[in-house]
């Protein structure tokens, strides 16, 4: 046996071992979900890296189904890649079944108005429970769910809350129930809700909206829902707070940090410090260009993906370039608002379950978090709740739509809410809605883009604090622009240019996607709350239950 043969045999054994580890993690070992194991780059070796150069959408490769075991494909690639006339695109097409675009064959009915269009799309974006396919990265779920659309043919954590708003308005409460059951199942199986139901998403989560989802169910089905999902709420909280008991002031561990004064707050994180499989080539290029330790850059890129704002100037040290990303150095107001809501929801769930001592403990933690956020995350000079550099002990100067989360969850005091409203009018309000930030970087979570979830958080948060004129103005601008783009293109898309210079949004690491789950959900709900805007009239809120009452009816 030659040295080359021995080396090739060893490589195949390594890839086969990696393949088995990946399957074992995704199908058999929930407790291992937070540990990085070999993934597709190790399975396919040079083929994986070379595919980055020829595939337009890198995510398609990690979602594809191989036609034979990966070790066989990798070995065959090594044998043929240097032959005359070799075509890598043709090789990939021969060896893999590439994923279709979710809803890619759907054609808009020209007789449908926007409401009818959204209601019809739910069935197009619905996915049924299915058995595990060990060839693919998809993690099967036991109940039905809605995918966003386009390249995103899997469930996404924080997207789903905003999708649920529209499902309820469309009379699809049954789907909302099934989706919450899926998220509870993911917590039971993996100890947390992954970014999405793919193996390569298991090392991170997304903004923790599970408590908000449970409260949405409780509004319809009663407070017993809170006790039903108490075990999963508690386990998600443990995931986000893991390691907090041992932290000294000035230290951080995974997703939790203890500030110099002893306050406990949270940050985004990822358990891996390698390139994201779905954006491998871009991450490698970013790390190399940064001049920083590559593992440090990869960790921060992954943490930025967990934030849902992938990517934005709010994470950049120079507010301009991705290479300066420092997500794990930041305590964000949106994440901590969501965890405050989780603590309050847990407190009420314990009360409903007849556990007053645990209820008091979680309520105390919520109160402490609120006080810490008001003390550290409030930037009086800018009049916003700001991202906080926890090691430096100071807020950043970025003004972003994340400042509205403390209004949405009732954390801000009246003075702070009024100042936030003033800053929003001056800095974020645009002709077609609310911008994510004030900075143009070419990243998708910066100017000129606006996003459906941020409109909903802003509109309802401002309305709860009596800023109804501003809330209605944002709603009217957003609804009208969504409808205008729909009338022109027949599509509802992932993000929009809100500056008045364009229609659909752009930027970031992939092409604009249509479908689109959370756009459909928020628009469907807003059109019910502001019906006049749907016909291009004046925005007039109707007498429906306010968002805060929906979220907190069963909260103290």
Structure tokens belonging to residue 391: 């090691």
Q: Which residues neighbour 78 within 8 Å (Cβ) at sequence distance 6 or greater?
A: 8, 45, 46
Task: Give the count of beta carbons closer than 10 Å to the beta carbon of residue 354.
Answer: 9
Encode pLDDT of 334-344 as tens digits. 999 999 999 99
Strands, sheet with 256-258, edge to edge from the N-terminal-most edge strand: 251-253, 256-258, 264-266
Residues recognised as catalytic: 310, 494
In-domain check, residue 382? no
In-domain check, residue 309? no
Structure confidence at residue 22 (pLDDT): 53
Residue finishing a domain among 97, 131, 152: 97
> Rounded to whole angstroms, how far apart are CA atoms 412 and 398?
18
Structure confidence at residue 34 (pLDDT): 56
> Rounded to whole angstroms, how far apart are CA atoms 105 and 324?
40
> Rounded to whole angstroms, how far apart are CA atoms 413 and 393?
22
Output b/e per residue, 400-422; b: 16+ Cβ within 10 A.
bbbbbbbbbbbbbeeebbebbbe
Structure tokens belonging to residue 133: 């396919």
Q: Which residues neighbour 406 within 8 Å (Cβ) at sequence distance 6 or greater?
A: 333, 337, 373, 377, 385, 412, 416, 420, 461
Residue finishing a domain among 48, 76, 97: 97
In-domain check, residue 115? no
Residues of the chain with pLDDT under 50: 1-12, 15, 20-21, 24-33, 536-556
Whats the size of the chain, residue-wise? 556
CA 3 to chain centre: 47
Residue finishing a domain among 68, 97, 126: 97
In-domain check, residue 33? yes
Structure confidence at residue 95 (pLDDT): 97
Q: What is the CATH number of the domain that holds 472?
A: 1.50.10.10
Write the burial class of residue 291 (CB in 10 Å: 0-12 exposed, 13-18 middle, 19+ buried). Answer: exposed
Structure confidence at residue 130 (pLDDT): 83
Structure confidence at residue 35 (pLDDT): 63
Q: Are the C-beta atoms of residues 506 and 512 closer than 8 Å to each other?
A: yes
Encode pLDDT of 446-478 as tens digits. 999 999 999 999 999 999 999 999 999 999 999
Q: Are the C-beta atoms of residues 37 and 99 closer than 8 Å to each other?
A: no
CA–CA distances in Å: residue 507 to residues 55, 311, 447: 18, 10, 9
In-domain check, residue 347? no
In-domain check, residue 345? no
In-domain check, residue 212? no
Task: Give the count of beta carbons closer than 10 Å to the beta carbon of residue 430.
Answer: 22
Q: Are the C-beta atoms of residues 399 and 382 closer than 8 Å to each other?
A: yes
CA angle, 209 then 211 then 212, to 5° = 65
Total structural domains in the chain?
2
**What residue numbers bound the domain in which 23 lies?**
3-97
Q: Which residues neighbour 356 within 8 Å (Cβ) at sequence distance 6 or greater?
A: 350
Structure confidence at residue 26 (pLDDT): 45
Output b/e per residue, 14-38; b: 16+ Cβ within 10 A.
bbbebbebbeebbeeebebbbeebb
Q: State whether residue 389 is helix, strand or coil.
A: strand
In-domain check, residue 446? yes
Quote the strand ranges of 236-343, DSSP E: 251-253, 256-258, 264-266, 330-331
Three-class SS of 204-235: CCCCCCHHHHHHHHHHHHCCHHHHHCHHHHHH
């Amino acid at each position: 046996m030659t040295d080359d043969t021995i080396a090739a045999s060893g490589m195949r054994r390594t890839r086969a071992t990696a393949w088995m580890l990946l399957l074992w993690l995704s199908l058999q070992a929930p407790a291992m979900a937070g540990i990085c194991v070999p993934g597709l780059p190790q399975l396919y070796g040079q083929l994986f890296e070379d595919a980055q150069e020829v595939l337009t959408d890198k995510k398609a490769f990690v979602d594809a189904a191989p036609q034979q075991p990966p070790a066989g494909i990798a070995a065959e690639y090594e044998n043929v890649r240097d032959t005359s006339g070799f075509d890598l695109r043709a090789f990939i097409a021969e060896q893999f079944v590439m994923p279709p675009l979710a809803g890619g064959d759907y054609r808009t009915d020209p007789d449908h108005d926007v409401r009818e269009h959204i209601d019809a799309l739910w069935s197009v974006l619905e996915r049924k429970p299915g058995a595990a396919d060990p060839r693919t990265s998809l993690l099967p779920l036991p109940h039905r769910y809605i995918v966003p659309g386009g390249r995103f043919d899997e469930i996404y954590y924080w997207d789903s809350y905003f999708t649920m708003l529209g499902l309820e308005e469309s009379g699809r409460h049954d789907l909302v129930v099934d989706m919450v059951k899926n998220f509870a199942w993911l917590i039971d199986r993996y100890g947390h809700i992954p970014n999405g139901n793919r193996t390569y998403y298991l090392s991170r989560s997304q903004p923790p909206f599970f408590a908000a989802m449970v409260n949405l169910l409780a509004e319809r089905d009663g407070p017993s829902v809170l006790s039903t999902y108490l075990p999963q709420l508690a386990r998600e909280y443990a995931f986000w707070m893991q390691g907090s008991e041992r932290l000294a002031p000035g230290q951080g561990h995974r997703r939790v940090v203890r500030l110099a004064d002893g306050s406990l707050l949270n940050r985004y994180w990822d358990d891996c410090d390698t390139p994201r499989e779905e954006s491998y080539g871009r991450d490698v290029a970013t790390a190399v260009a940064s001049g920083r330790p590559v593992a440090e850059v990869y960790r921060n890129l992954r943490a930025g993906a967990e934030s849902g704002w992938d990517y934005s100037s709010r994470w950049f040290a120079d507010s301009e370039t991705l290479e300066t990303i420092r997500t794990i150095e930041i305590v964000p107001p949106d994440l901590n608002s969501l965890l405050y809501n989780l603590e309050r929801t847990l407190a009420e769930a314990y009360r409903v379950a007849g556990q007053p001592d645990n209820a008091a403990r979680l309520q105390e933690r919520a109160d402490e978090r609120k006080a810490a956020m008001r003390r550290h995350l409030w930037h009086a000079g800018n009049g916003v709740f700001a991202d906080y550099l926890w090691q430096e002990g100071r807020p950043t100067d970025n003004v972003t739509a994340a400042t509205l989360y403390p209004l949405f969850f009732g954390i801000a005091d009246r003075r702070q809410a009024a100042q936030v409203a003033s800053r929003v009018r001056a800095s974020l309000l645009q002709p077609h809605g609310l911008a994510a930030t004030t900075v143009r970087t070419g990243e998708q979570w910066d100017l000129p883009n606006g996003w459906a979830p941020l409109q909903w958080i802003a509109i309802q948060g401002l309305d709860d604090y009596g800023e109804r004129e501003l809330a209605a103005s944002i709603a009217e601008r957003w609804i009208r622009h969504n409808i205008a783009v729909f009338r022109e293109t027949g599509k509802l898309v992932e993000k929009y240019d809100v500056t008045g210079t364009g229609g659909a949004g752009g930027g970031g690491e992939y092409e604009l996607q249509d479908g689109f789950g959370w756009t459909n959900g928020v628009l469907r709900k807003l059109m019910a709350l502001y019906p006049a805007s749907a016909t291009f009239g004046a925005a007039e809120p109707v007498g429906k239950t306010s968002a805060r009452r929906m979220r907190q009816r069963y909260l103290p």
